[in-house]
Amino acid sequence: MNHPKIIQGGMGIGVSNWKLARAVSISGGLGVVSSTALDTLMVRRLFHKDEDTKRALLKFPLKNISEKILDNYYGEKNNNKGYPQLPFFSVDIRDELIALTIAANFVEVYLAKEGHSNPVGINLLEKVQMPTLYSLYGAMLAGVDYVIMGAGIPREIPGILDKLSAGHDAELNLYVSGAQSGESYKMHFSPKKFMGKQLNLKRPYFFPIVSSNTLATTLMKKSNGKIDGLIIENYSAGGHNAPPRVKGVFHDNGSPVYGDKDIVNLDKIKELDIPFFLAGSFVTPEIISKTIDEAGASGIQVGTIFALTSESGFEESIKLEIVNKIKNNTINIFTDPMASPTGFPFKVASIKGTLSEQDIYDNRPRVCNLRYLAELYKDENGNIGYRCPAEPINEYLKKGGKIEETVGRKCLCNALLANIGYGNTYKNGYKEPYLITLGDSVSLISHFLPDEGLPSAKNVTIQLKSYIEN
Ligand SMILES: Cc1cc2nc3c(=O)[nH]c(=O)nc-3n(C[C@H](O)[C@H](O)[C@H](O)COP(=O)(O)O)c2cc1C
């Protein structure tokens, strides 16, 4: 199989939107949309009467669902109360949320694939488990060609893709803190029941993202179906990073120290005899040609520079500010070991007025109104609860959370939606602040930047392709 050699990384929430993915795919790369929080994002786009979303929704195969979503969410419905509050994901998920999730993933992939026949992928986070079955199915209804998944060990996904494509029921085991061994909690989805008939769909290729040889080997051995390729991501990449193998060692500025043990042995990856792609600062002709020629990689996955293109979801003003900082050599990226509620290190760009600044963080009232990153736990009565270390501290402690887990935690759900222009503004006028993630490659990408304005996804893709082909 000839997979595209340039994969544009799936960047959530909504940085890798359909516009970016479509432009990259048309230009010969693999455009990838982010699936994270698409239900909320679709509803917020509809709130602003986004016509592309409406048009795609009207192509959704179940008219009763698309019409109901438009009736409920198109335009402002609630007398200036702001964005509608959706139900939370839970083990007993509401039918309405299942339908919204399937439709939202359908819409994003449909739009990314519109008007061309090149492949398009979707990126999911393994740690965000409850939406997964529905997100995959919605994307598959729109004919998604690749599923890419990071931030965990997605052993069950290949088998789920097989089942969903055959129209069979599928289940996903959930991690529940405090559950006894032998107890299992699952999400369940019946495509036949949802669609009202048995439907066969294309089985997309599955590429997990891994950051160690052990994980790559485990996934190859223990997955319940075919893995079609691997993305090997190093710790310079934007977004979340795998924690260092040696824990508890920090630089003076508080970022974790990575060492030799964190470098993936590519010779061992080659022995797995599977296409692999390298991610994390693969942006210069020298680095790229070395990668392809010496390491034997099939290609690269690139995020940071695509996040700064005119098509990406980031607010235009913040992109222009970052590009200026890059040109002036004043951009600073910090690997924050505490910011993300997932517990994984998270790359944060130090930018004035954003949550990277202590006073902006201190002044943000803690609220948890999206809950995508909540951990599931079993309480003393045996019920399942949901807690996030970035939620109000007293709530978290009441749920058995530990105080030290709350220190420095940032509400990524709200901040990442703010970054793309869909942040909450509350009744008292408080606006959710930004928190920008980018990779260490910010110091290597000035050759992509035009004298004025932002680079285009097309030009970045073509430039990257030329580095691989030469
Ligand atoms: C703004 C941003 C958001 C990201 N979000 C995700 C994500 O949601 N899921 C994921 O698997 N990777 C995410 N990544 C990582 C990229 O998909 C990609 O692997 C990485 O950016 C490659 O390294 P580079 O930043 O040096 O190009 C993100 C990266 C950036 C810059």
For the stretch 48-102, pLDDT in tens is 999 999 999 999 999 999 999 999 999 998 767 799 999 999 999 999 999 999 9
Averaged pLDDT score across all residues of the chain: 96
pLDDT of 304 > 90? The answer is: yes
Instruction: Please give the Cα distance from 31 to 17 (Å, whole number).
Output: 9
Ligand 1 mean position, distance from CA 441 (Å): 11
Q: pLDDT (tens digit, 9 = 90+) per residue, 161-204?
A: 999 999 999 999 999 999 998 899 999 999 999 999 999 999 99
CA of 302 to the centre of ligand 1 (A): 7
The per-residue pLDDT for 406 is: 98
Span 349-377, pLDDT tens digits:
999 999 999 999 999 999 999 999 999 99
Whether residue 132 has its Cβ less than 6 Å from ligand 1: no
Q: Is the CB of 437 within 6 Å of ligand 1?
A: yes
- pLDDT at position 365, please? 97
Q: Closest Cα to atom 4, ligand 1: which residue?
A: 11
Phi-psi region of 248 (alpha: psi -120 to 50; beta: other; left: phi over 0): left
Fill in the DSSP letter of residue 314.
S
Ligand 1 centre to CA of 263 (Å) is 18
Q: Say yes or no: CB of residue 9 within 6 Å of ligand 1.
A: yes
User: What integer pLDDT is reported at residue 157 of this predicted model?
Assistant: 98
Side-chain-facing half-sphere of 230: CA atoms under 13 Å:
29
* Total-model pTM: 0.98
Residue 248's Cβ-count burial label (10 Å; 0-12, 13-18, 19+) is: exposed
Q: Are 7 and 288 in contact, with CB atoms under 8 Å apart?
A: no
Which band of pLDDT confidence, cut at 50, 70 and 90, is reported for residue 6? Answer: very high
Is 80 exceeded by the pLDDT of residue 112? yes
- Please state whether beta strands 120-125 and 170-173 pair in parallel, antiparallel, or not at all (unpaired): unpaired
Name the residue at shortest CA distance from atom 21 of ligand 1. Answer: 303
Alpha carbon of 237 to ligand 1 centroid (Å): 6
CB of 20 within 6 A of ligand 1: the answer is: no
Q: What is the pLDDT of residue 293?
A: 80
The yes-or-no verdict on residue 448 having pLDDT over 80 is yes
Q: Has residue 469 got a pLDDT over 90?
A: no
Note the pLDDT of residue 443. 96
- Residue 160 contacts by C-beta under 8 Å, 6 or more apart in sequence? 132, 133, 136, 170, 171, 172, 225
Domains, the chain, with CATH or none? 6-315+447-469 (3.20.20)
Q: Residue 290: what pLDDT?
A: 82
Q: For residue 391, what pLDDT band results from cuts at 50, 70 and 90?
A: very high
What's the one-letter identity of residue 460?
V
Query: Is residue 16 lining ligand 1, measured as CB closer than 6 Å?
Result: no
239 alpha carbon – ligand 1 mean position (Å): 5
Residue 275's pLDDT band, with cuts at 50, 70 and 90, is very high
pLDDT at residue 81, rounded to an integer:
79
Q: Is the Cβ atom of 307 under 6 angstroms away from ligand 1? A: yes
Q: Is 14 in the pocket of ligand 1 (CB under 6 A)?
A: no
Query: What is residue 294's predicted lDDT score, i.e. its pLDDT?
Result: 85
pLDDT at 78: 72
Residue nearest to atom 7 of ligand 1 (CA): 11
* Protein residue with its CA nearest to atom 11 in ligand 1: 150
Ligand 1: does its nearest atom lie under 6 Å from the Cβ of 301?
yes
Q: What is the pLDDT of residue 301?
A: 98
Terminal Cα-to-Cα distance of the chain (whole angstroms): 21
8 A C-beta contact, residue 99 and residue 138? no
DSSP string, 188-223: EE-HHHHHSS-------EEEEEESSHHHHHHHHHH-
Residue 291's pLDDT is what?
78
Q: pLDDT at residue 1 above 80?
A: no
Q: State residue 266 phi and psi, 5-degree precision.
A: -75, -25
Residue to substitute in 6, 7, 11 for testing ligand 1 pocket (most ligand atoms within 8 angstroms of CB):
11
Q: Relative to the CA of 32, which ligand 1 atom is closest?
A: 17
User: Residue 326 is encoded by which pair of tokens?
Assistant: 């890059």
Instruction: Calculate mean pLDDT across residues 14-40.
Output: 98
Residue 230 pLDDT grade (very low, low, confident, very high; cuts 50, 70, 90): very high
Mutate to test the pocket of ligand 1, among 234, 276, 304, 438 (most ligand atoms within 8 A of CB): 304
Residues 39/67, Cβ–Cβ less than 8 Å: no
412 alpha carbon – ligand 1 mean position (Å) = 14
Summarize the confidence of residues 332-345 as an average pLDDT: 97
Model confidence pLDDT, tens digit, residues 116-168: 999 999 999 999 999 999 999 999 999 999 999 987 789 999 999 999 999 99
